[in-house]
Each structure stands twice: as C-alpha cells, then as structure tokens.
Amino acid sequence: MSPFLYFLIPIAAGICFLFSLTSFLQRPAPLYLRLFSIYLIVDCTVELLAGYQALHFINNLLLSSLSSVVSFCFYLYVIRGFIHRPKAKRVLLYLILILPAVLAINIFLQQKFSVFQSMAYSLGCLFVVGACIYYFWELFQHTYYVKLTSQPAFWICSGLLIYYVVTFPTYAFINFVTRDLQMIKVLAIILDSVNILLYLSFTIAFLCRLKIRNTM
C-alpha cells in the first residue's frame, strides 16, 4: 500500500481545519463551530500519529480507541448545540457525561488494547447516529421554511450519519476477513473514502455561512 494513503486522512483533516478558521471571520458564529477548529487540529495531529504508527507497523488501536471516545463526546456536544428541545438537550448532556466512563471501562477492563474495541465503537456509533436522526426529525417538525444548504448543522449531521452508518458494518466485516489482505485493502479504501466525505461535509458546513459578494 502506498505510504501516501496512510496520510490521506490527516491531509483531509488539515484542509478542513484551515477552512474552519473562516468561522472566526464572519460573526456571530455559534460556539460549537469555533470549538470545531480546536477539535480539528487535535484530530489532525492524532491522525498523523496514527498514520505514522500504521506505516511503521506499530499497533495504534489504543490511540484510535481513545480518540474515538473524544470524537463521540464532541460530536454529541455539537449536535446538542443546534437542537432545540430542552429534554433532548438534557439527554445528550447525560450521554456526554456518562459515555466516557462507560467506554473507558470497556477499553481498559473488558477488551484488550491489541484488539479493535468493537463494543465501545458500536455504542458510540449508536448514540451519534441516534442524535443525528433526532436532529432531522426535529428539523422536519419546523413549520417555517429552512434553507438546508446554508445550515452548518445540516451538513455536519449529514456527514456524521453517512460516516457512522458506513463505517460500523465495515469495521464489523473486517473482523471476519483478517487473513484476506486484498479484501482488507478494499475495505481500507472504503473507510478512507467515507472519512474524506466526512471532512468534506465539515468543510461545507463552514463555507456555507460565508456571504460572497457579486461584483460587476
């Protein structure tokens, strides 16, 4: 596999981070968008380290598991920022507080570091996908017109929903083809593709707020 592929995701994350800085140019920007820049630079660093470890055949499953916990909690916090019903916000707050402890117990006490943390990842996927579906349900309840293409929340939730719906069964399938290197390469390409699609949706979420002036 080409060494470039190991760093394709960090490059996508870095480009997304650069575009995320536009949230500071046009005010007022929601707090979750400004915090997204901090998250993306941390995420880019983690992806760089994970790519370096994979390239040198160093087990990076623990790093990936811990970064997934941070990502799950951050994404739930972001979704909580643009839903409206107080009860739903309260439920997401409880999940953000409880999820790290539950996943940490699974990672450090139940499953070994050298294996993919399937239980932790499945639980995180379930909560994020459920939160995204709730956002769309709440969106369809609006009695007024909403231009979705100019809503950062729409692009963020769309990217997250597609990403986790695709990656969860893909990771599950990898467990059954650990000896088929050709199939693993195909699945790795699928995972890289949806990862890039996720960062693309984040990038659009930042750019859709910009007002471009037409000049004669």
Is there a contact between 204 and 155 (Cβ–Cβ < 8 Å)?
A: yes
- pLDDT at residue number 3: 59
What is the per-residue pLDDT for 212? 46
Distances (CA, A) of 162 to 35, 74, 152, 159, 199: 22, 17, 16, 5, 12
**Distance (Å, rounded) from C-alpha 7 to C-alpha 50?**
9
Each residue's pLDDT tens digit, 51-107? 888 777 787 777 888 888 899 999 999 999 889 899 999 999 999 999 888 887 877
Across residues 36-45, what is the average pLDDT? 92
The reported pLDDT for the residue numbered 142 is 75
pLDDT per position as a tens digit, 160-201: 999 999 888 877 676 666 666 677 777 778 888 999 999 999
What token pair was written down for 212? 């471009």
Is residue 210 scored above 80 in pLDDT?
no
**What is the structure's pLDDT at 215?**
40
pLDDT (tens digit per residue) in 132-150: 999 999 988 877 777 888 8
pLDDT score recorded for residue 90: 94
Per-residue pLDDT at 86: 92
The Cα angle at residue 210 between residues 205 and 212, in degrees rounded to 5: 135
pTM: 0.88
**Residue 22: what pLDDT?**
85
Residue with tokens 């309840």: 141
The pLDDT of residue 214: 40
How would DSSP label each residue in 16-76? HHHHHGGGGTSSS--HHHHHHHHHHHHHHHHHHHHHHHHHTT---HHHHHHHHHHHHHHHH
CA distances 121 to 38, 127, 167, Å, are 23, 10, 10
At residue 99, the pLDDT reads: 87
pLDDT given for residue 157 in this prediction? 94
